[in-house]
Structure 1
Amino acid sequence: MNPTETFGTGALNDAFDTAELVERIGLTEDELAWRKHFIGFDESDERRLADLEPVVRDNQDAIADDFYENLLGYEGTRNVIERSPKGVEALKQTQRAYLVSLSTGDYDQQFFANRARIGKLHELLDMPLKHYIGQYGVYYDLLLERLNERIQRQVIEEIETWAAERDDDGGALGGFAGALGFRGDDSDADGLEASFEETVRDAIDDGMHDVLSLLRIINLDVQIATETYVDSAAQDLEESIARRRRLAREVETDVQAPIEELHDAGEEIAARAEAISTHTDRQADEATDAAAELGELSAAIEEVASVTDTVSEESTRTERLAADGASAATDAIDDLEKIDEAAGTVSRSVDELAARTDEIETVLERLEDVADRTSVLAKNAKIEATRTGSDNAQTMSVIAEEVDSFAEQTRRDLERVEGALEGVREAAADTVDATDATVERIDDGTTQIRATMESFDEIHEAAQTTAARMDDVAAATDQQAHNVQSAAATVESIAETAGDVSGAAQSVAAASQEQTASLESVSETVARLTTVETGTDAPVYERLE
Structure 2
Amino acid sequence: MDPEETFGRGKLNERIDPERLVDRIALDEAEVSWRKTFIGFDEEDERRLSDLEPVLRENQERIADDFYEAILEYERTQSVIGRSPKGVGSLKQTQRAYLVSLATGSYDLDYFHNRARIGKLHEMIDMPLHFYVGQYGVYYDLLLERLNDRVQNRVVDAVEEWANERDDTGGGLGGLASALGLGGSDDPTLEESFETTVRDAIDDGMMDVLSLLRIINLDMQVAADTYVDSYAQRLERSIERRKRLAREVEHDVRRPIEELHEASEVVAGRAETISGHTASQASAVDAVAGDLSEVSAAVEEIAAAAGEVHADSERTERLAAEGVGAADEAIADLEELEAVTDRAATAADTLEAKTDEIDAVLDRLEGVAERTAILAKNAKIEASRSDSEDAGPMRVIAEEVDSFASQTRSDLEAIEDAVLAVREEAAETASATEQTVERVDDGTEHVHETIASLEEIHESAQATASSMEDVAVATDQQARNVERAATTVDDVAQTADQVAAAAESVAAASEEQTASLQDVVETVSRLTDEENGATETSQ
The answer on 1:203 being equivalent to 2:201 is: yes
Indicate the residue corresponding to 2:215 in structure 1: 217
1:132 CA drift (Å): 1.1
Q: 1:262 to 1:109 in 2, by over 3 A?
A: same
Distance 1:224 1:318, change over 3 A: same
- Distance, in Å, in 2 between the alignment partners of 1:98 and 1:73 is 22
Residue 244 of structure 1: how far off its partner (Å): 1.2
For 2:533 and 2:145, the matched residues in 1 are separated by 46
Q: Secondary structure at the match of 1:84?
A: coil
C-alpha distance in 1 between matches for 2:213 and 2:234: 32
Contact residue 129 and residue 229 of structure 1 kept, 8 A: yes
**Counterpart AA for 2:199:** R
The alpha carbon displacement at 1:175 in A equals 2.2
User: Match of 1:166, as an amino acid?
Assistant: R
Residues 310 and 65 of structure 1, relative CA distance in 2, 3 Å threshold? closer
Residue matched to 2:65: 65
Paired residues of 2:246 and 2:528 also in contact (CA < 8 A): no
Q: Between Structure 1 and Structure 2, whose CA radius of gyration is higher?
A: 2
**1:110-189 → structure 2 map (5 Å cutoff):** 110-167=110-167, 171-183=171-183, 187-189=185-187
Report the counterpart of residue 230 of structure 1 in structure 2.
228
Q: 1:102 maps to which residue?
A: 102
Q: Which residue of 2 aligns with 1:89?
A: 89
Q: Matches of 1:218 and 1:180 in 2, distance apart?
A: 38
User: Does the alignment pair 1:74 with 2:74?
Assistant: yes
Summarize the Cα distance change of 1:314–1:39 in structure 2 as closer, same or farther, 3 Å threshold.
Answer: same
**Contact between 2:3 and 2:94, CA under 8 Å: does it hold in 1?**
no
Distance 1:225 1:44 in 2: 24
Aligned in 2, Cα 1:215/1:306: closer, same or farther, shift over 3 Å? closer
Aligned letter for 1:255?
V
Contact 1:112 1:221 in 2 (8 A): yes
Structure 1 residues 62-461: aligned runs within 5 Å: 62-167=62-167, 171-183=171-183, 187-259=185-257, 311-312=309-310, 314-315=312-313, 317-318=315-316
Aligned-residue offset at 1:147: 0.7
Q: 1:135 to 1:270 in 2, by over 3 A?
A: closer
- Distance in 2 (alpha carbons) for counterparts of 1:534 and 1:272: 35
Amino acid at match of 2:195: E
Q: Deviations over 1:371-402 (max 9, x none)?
A: xxxxxxxxxxxxxxxxxxxxxxxxxxxxxxxx
CA contact (8 A) 1:244 1:533 kept: no
> Closer, same or farther in 2 for the Cα pair 1:311/1:12, shift >3 Å?
same
Which residue number corresponds to residue 22 of structure 2? 22
* Residue 216 to residue 324, structure 1, CA distance change in 2 (3 Å): farther
In 1, Cα distance between equivalents of 2:113 and 2:270: 73
Mapped contact 2:250–2:528 kept (Cα < 8 A):
no
Separation in 2 of the partners of 1:272 and 1:181? 103
User: 1:189 Cα deviation (Å)?
Assistant: 3.6
Q: Deviations over 1:25-77 (max 9, x none)?
A: 22233322332222222222111111111111111112112212222222222
Report the Cα distance in structure 2 between the residues aligned to 1:265 and 1:65, rounded to whole angstroms. Answer: 71
**Deviation of 1:534 (Å):** 10
Q: Distance in 1 between matches of 2:532 and 2:147?
A: 49
2-side partners of 1:324 and 1:195: how far apart?
150
- 1:12 corresponds to which letter in structure 2? L
Structure 1 Cα separation of the partners of residues 155 and 188 of structure 2: 22
**Offset at 1:267?**
11
Match of 1:377 in 2: none
In the aligned structure 2, how far is the partner of 1:538 from the partner of 1:170?
A: 88
Instruction: Report the AA paired with residue 115 of structure 1.
Output: R
Q: Which moved more, 1:259-268 or 1:197-206?
A: 259-268
Say which SS state the counterpart of residue 176 (structure 1) adopts. helix
Deviation at 1:265? 7.3
3-state SS of paired residue (1:27): coil
Residue pair 2:6, 2:94 contacting (<8 A) in 1 also? yes
Question: Take 1:535 and 1:203, find their aligned partners in 2: how far apart are those partners?
Answer: 65
1:93, distance to aligned residue in structure 2 (A): 1.7
Superposition deviation, residue 19 in structure 1:
1.9
Q: Structure 1 196/269 Cα, relative in aligned 2: closer, same or farther at 3 Å? A: closer
Match of 2:31 in 1: 31
Contact 2:49–2:211, Cα closer than 8 Å, also in 1: yes
Change (3 A) 1:537 1:173: farther
- Say whether the 8 Å CA contact 1:241–1:533 is kept in structure 2: no
Residue type at the aligned position of 1:167? D
Q: Look up the SS of the partner of 1:255 in the other structure.
A: helix
Name the SS of the counterpart of 1:202 in structure 2.
helix
Whether the aligned pair in 2 keeps the contact of 1:49 and 1:214 (CA below 8 Å) is: yes
Rounded to whole Å, the distance in 2 between the matches of 1:124 and 1:71 is 19
Stretch moving more, 21-30 or 209-218: 21-30
Note if contact 2:53-2:103 (Cα within 8 Å) is conserved in structure 1: yes
Give the CA deviation at 1:183.
Answer: 2.2
Per the TM alignment, residue 182 of structure 1 is displaced from its structure 2 partner at its CA by 2.8
Deviations 1:449-480 (A, max 9, x none): xxxxxxxx9xx79x69x97xx8xx99xx9xxx
Q: Deviations over 1:393-437 (max 9, x none)?
A: xxxxxxxxxxxxxxxxxxxxxxxxxxxxxxxxxxxxxxxxxxxxx
Distance change in 2, residues 1:219/1:316 (3 Å): same
Task: Tell me the secondary structure at the aligned position of residue 111 of structure 1.
Answer: helix
The amino acid across from 1:243 in the alignment is R
> RMSD over aligned Cα, in angstroms?
5.1
What amino acid is aligned across from residue 251 of structure 2 in structure 1?
T
- Kindly indicate whether the alpha-carbon contact (under 8 Å) linking 1:60 and 1:99 is maintained by their aligned counterparts in 2: yes
Once the two structures are superposed, residues 78-134 of structure 1 have per-residue CA deviations (whole angstroms, 9 ceiling, x without a partner) of 222222222222222211111111112122222122111111111111112222111
TM-aligned CA deviation for residue 215 of structure 1: 1.0
- How much does 1:10 deviate? 0.8
Relative distance call for 1:149 and 1:533 in structure 2 (3 A) is farther
**Deviations 1:309-332 (Å, cap 9, x if unpaired)?**
88557426536879999xxxxxxx
CA gap of 1:230–1:309, structure 2 versus 1, over 3 A, is same
Q: 1:4 touches 1:111 (CA, 8 Å); kept in 2?
A: no
> Residues 66 and 305 from structure 1, CA distance in 2 versus in 1: closer, same or farther, beyond 3 angstroms?
closer
State how far apart, in whole Å, the 2-side matches of 1:250 and 1:92 are: 50
Q: For residue 48 of structure 1, what is the amino acid of its counterpart?
A: R
